[in-house]
Structure 1
Amino acid sequence: MHTYAPFEPIPLKPCKPFPPKQNASGEVVSTSPFAAEDAATHAYSAGRDQVRTSMLQKGGATRAAIEANDDPRKLADTFKYDSLPAIEAAGLRTAKLAVQPWSGDYWATASGGLGNRYAGCGGMGGGWDMNYEYIRTHPSKVILNSGSEVWVNELSPAEKYDALVGDAAETLTRMSWLDGKKYFDVHKEVPGWFGICHGWAPAAFMFPRPAKSVKLLTPNKQTLTFYPCEIKALASLLWARSNPTTRFIGGRCNVEKPTIDPATGRVITLYNPYIAADYGTDQPLEPGQPRPGETEVSLSTETWSEDGTTGREGGRPTQSQCFDTNPGAWHLAVINQIGVSKRSMIMDASFDYQVWNQPLLGYQYTYFNPQTLKQTEKLAEATTTKAAFTSDIFKKYRSPKVVSFVGIVMRVTYMGENGNSQEHTDTPDNDSVVNVDYYYDLELDAAGKIIGGEWYSNSHPDFLWTPPKDGRAVSRYEALATDVWATGKPMPDSWRAAAAKASADMTPLAAIVEYMVKLAQ
């Protein structure tokens, strides 16, 4: 039965050829901070699961991680539409946020997190141990006392923050490096994909874009320049390390190897007009080449054996708890959050190593008929009744309330990570904007309401979350930061004391980050 229920993500599989991602210019890109080989490892799955569990636990004190449900009404700020005709009448088959979330970096733990001197330090690079040794033998105190503005500018965001608050113990820097030490001491390496993408993603739309660099004074009145990417870094760390309230749908699959229904592993060809538009109409076709936009879609994966033979394996998981976010829940969530509420949300796709906590910018979708597989812009032509849907490979999993079906091709536009640089300004033109396409059908009841659906490919979002509109990430010590920080002056002593305490939690003081962001407008 496919109504909204506690669906969970399926463990990652290696060697899955995911649909290509395109940037805003239609070029195929990869914004992943790690490679496909990483996604095949147990450490990757465990690390990702740890982050996701943390998000589930932050959803509210009364909600346990295993009780995450799949109701889009609990995610969207305003839930208004639950049927395709109503969505279409409202003009919400396409929507894009007016204010673009900003791209940032995940500040790899292997490079010291915010302790990474990303700019100009040729001695950094390689593994965690090499990076840490470089920092240890080139201490920030010496650089700060050198009188060289160039050298001081090249300090890490954490080192600048510690200097700003007058923390001689360099607590935030030290904690940033210790965060990787616990992994290195056990495994002799720190996975390159460990970082704070789960902090960058909400910060990217919960904080305004830091548009320019700011200059602030240390307690001894030394001027420090914080570049936009460094202010973003502190904002991202604040959201990653504090305990903000979040709303979510989706969860985790506790079955190591879910049972798969091989009968659902078919391969079909669908026409995707967005891919066709990316290709262009002036490109000549080679003999036998399919027309632009035709793409193969499947829940199964191509396999190879040592003797050169090929086959396919995979399909729909049979355990309901491993089905992921239902396509109906996904569709209603994205329309009501992006289209109606006009605010971003964050998607995570376990099957897709390139999509891990990405803030959404927009969407657009077209229809196809699930029986004929013909793409159309007309809802009526895309609708097939239960009786007419004779080719339904998911028949035994359908809701008993389903009356008709509609196929959907949705192009989702999300924000990708970008690199760090000492640019004094930042604009949306500097962002990494990425497109990905999802294929699914929707189940409709007698009233035409969306009550469920089935995914047609493994690449799809399965965990969605967002802070509430008025959400704020804070440390445990904000109340200690009394007095007013006057413009052009060092911060008050009460702020410094509070910041040092918060740094022991590897959390910057929210009051300081918010002050920086305000100055950077």
Structure 2
Amino acid sequence: MKFISILSIGILFSLSGFAQEEKLINEAWKGFSDPQIFGSGFTHKLNDLPLEGNVDLGNRAWSGDYWSAKKGSINYRWNAPTKIGYKLVSPSKAEAQKMTEAELATLAPSEKLDLLMSRYDYPLVREVDGVATPTASIWAGICHGWSPATLYHNEPAPKLLTNAEGVKVPFGSGDIKALISYYYAFHHDAGSDQMGLRCFFGPWTGGAAARGCQEDLNAGAFHIVLANKVGLQKEGFVMDMDRYREVWNHPIIGYKSTVVANNLQPSRDAATTAVKEIRVKTVITHADGSAPTWGTVIGTDNQKTGTQEYTYRLELNNEGKIVGGTWESAKRPDFIWNVPRATEFSGLFTALPVLLND
């Protein structure tokens, strides 16, 4: 459904320092759309870039829930007969020691991690209460956490772990996915690399506001990153696939480009060094969301992927290097971004590594 892969309201990503200023360069992109934001040493020559590629996935790019803020985020008791996400009455130590594994399995992901860490005051549950709200938009959630988590970490399998008081806490795969996604969303303070600016307007606004959401992610710069990261380096990144206000974050895991027109004359706004343009159709493959499950989803019908098609023009200089581009399709990405992989977990998430399959 439309709201499965969405960035939480108010979550913005800062640009790296050099990306905040427009560069005095011949290429058609501005500083906030320069491929250097994603790394140095990228190949810009079109003939040296593969027209298709896929990420080396292994056991990654698993489908997961977006943990709707409207439903309570990871306070949502998804595995209970009565599914609630607010006003939880979490068990005391004495109550937890008397509960069966089946009863404990119905608790929310946040409650289970608190129990595993013998935190019977439930600090994570209380924190999540401050993030979730019943008045949130239906698309608000933590897919800005799920997207990097699924790119970096193997799909977690169900686990039964015992806390210091002997309480055996059962975790389903969906519980662990919720916790690692929440960690990346709110506790992974490592900065981000972002190309393009977030649009805060909808297509219904029209005029200059909507037009301002069209070209801040240059099509040529986008193609350079896509072909280098996915095609050459076999690494994914995260993309907001909707060009307007709502943010649809998905992890990009593959692409296939087709040149549909060659030797086009440079556009009026092309880079000053452009000598010709080509028209490209690119089909992006991304991991998609699915409802939480107790077992793993890779290899089952609950593992979801999707595609999106974009058409754009690439501007080439006399060396065949991409120096700019223009979007032609009505659909186009808003921005692309990455964060580093989390290697250490502390605070409320100190016990998280024992739940992962890394």
Secondary structure of 2:43's aligned partner = coil
Confirm or deny: 8 A CA contact 1:407 1:440 kept in the other structure: yes
Alignment partner, residue 119 of structure 1 = 79
2:342 — aligned with what?
472
Structure 1 residues 78-87 or 101-110, which shifts more? Answer: 78-87
Residue 138 of structure 2 aligns to a residue whose secondary structure is coil
2:269 alignment partner, one of 397, 401, 405? 397
Amino acid at match of 1:440: Y
Structure-2 residue corresponding to 1:81: 43
Aligned to 2:185: 240
Q: Is the 8 A contact 2:200 2:245 kept in 1?
A: no
SS at match of 1:69: helix
- 1:420: how far off? 0.5
1:384 paired with 2:338, answer no
Alpha carbons of 1:434 and 1:350: their partners in 2 closer, same or farther (altered >3 Å)?
closer
Aligned partner of residue 132 in structure 2, secondary structure? helix
CA separation of 1:177/1:453 partners in 2, compared to 1, >3 Å: closer, same or farther?
Answer: same
Instruction: Please state if 1:140 is matched with 2:80.
Output: no
Residues 63, 304 of structure 2: 8 Å contact kept? yes
Write 1 or 2 for the structure with the bigger share of helix. Answer: 1
1:327 aligns with 2:219: yes
* % identical aligned pairs: 24
TM-superposed deviation, 1:64: 8.2
Deviation string, structure 1 residues 2-40 (Cα, Å, up to 9, x no partner): xxxxxxxxxxxxxxxxxxxxxxxxxxxx45338xxxx9x
The residue number in structure 2 matching 1:421 is: 293
Checking the alignment, whether the CA contact within 8 Å between 1:405 and 1:444 is kept in structure 2 is yes
CA contact (8 A) 1:101 1:205 kept: yes
Q: Which residues in structure 2 correspond to 1:102-501 (within 5 Å)?
A: 102-122=62-82, 124=84, 131-133=85-87, 135-136=88-89, 139-141=90-92, 144-181=96-133, 189-210=135-156, 212-242=157-187, 243-252=189-198, 259=207, 317=211, 323-351=215-243, 356-369=248-261, 382-386=262-266, 395-423=267-295, 425-429=296-300, 430-468=302-340, 471-472=341-342, 474=344, 478=346
- TM-score between the two structures when normalised by the length of structure 1: 0.60
1:401–1:103: structure 2 CA closer, same or farther, 3 Å change rule?
same
1:118 alignment partner AA: W
Q: CA deviation at 1:405?
A: 0.8
Q: Is the 8 A contact 2:201 2:245 kept in 1?
A: no
- Of the two, which has the highest radius of gyration? 1
- How far, CA to CA, are the matches of 2:281 and 2:178 in structure 1? 35
- Write the deviation string for residues 49-97 of structure 1: whole angstroms up to 9, x where unpaired: x32x2x21xx55x568787611113214x6442122222xxxx211112
Q: Aligned match of 1:515 in 351, 354, 357?
A: 354
Contact 1:117/1:154 (CA < 8 Å) preserved in 2? yes
Residues 191 and 252 of structure 1: CA distance in aligned 2, closer, same or farther (over 3 Å): closer
- Write out per-residue CA displacement over residues 165-188 of structure 1, whole angstroms, 9 at most, x where no aligned residue: 01121110121122225xx5xxxx
Contact 1:252 1:322 in 2 (8 A): no
Paired amino acid for 1:443? E
Map 1:41-52 to 2 at 5 A: 48=9, 50-51=10-11
Are the structure 2 counterparts of residues 350 and 31 from structure 1 closer, same or farther at C-alpha, using a change threshold of 3 Å?
A: closer
1:355 deviates by 6.2
Cα distance change, pair 366–322 in 1 and its aligned pair in 2 (3 A): closer
Offset at residue 473 of structure 1 (A): 6.0
Q: TM-score, normalised by structure 2?
A: 0.85
1:66–1:251 contact (8 Å) kept in structure 2: no
Give RMSD over aligned pairs: 2.9
Q: Deviations over 1:342-371 (max 9, x none)?
A: 1110001342688622101100011112xx
Change over 3 Å in CA distance of 1:322–1:473 after alignment to 2: farther
Compared CA separation, residues 218 and 179, structure 1 to 2 (3 A): same
Q: CA deviation at 1:228?
A: 1.5
Q: Conserved in 1, the CA contact under 8 Å of 2:3 and 2:138?
A: no
Q: How far is 1:234 from its partner? A: 1.1
Unaligned runs of 5+ in 2: 23-30
Provide the C-alpha distance between the structure 1 equivalents of 2:333 and 2:343, rounded to a whole number of angstroms: 25
Distance (Å, rounded) in 2 between the aligned partners of 1:160 and 1:154: 9
SS of the aligned residue for 1:515 comes to helix
Q: Is the 8 A contact 2:62 2:297 kept in 1?
A: no
Take 2:246 and 2:105, find their aligned partners in 1: how far apart are those partners?
32
User: Amino acid of the residue matched to residue 219 of structure 2?
Assistant: P
2:254–2:284 CA contact under 8 A, matched in 1: yes
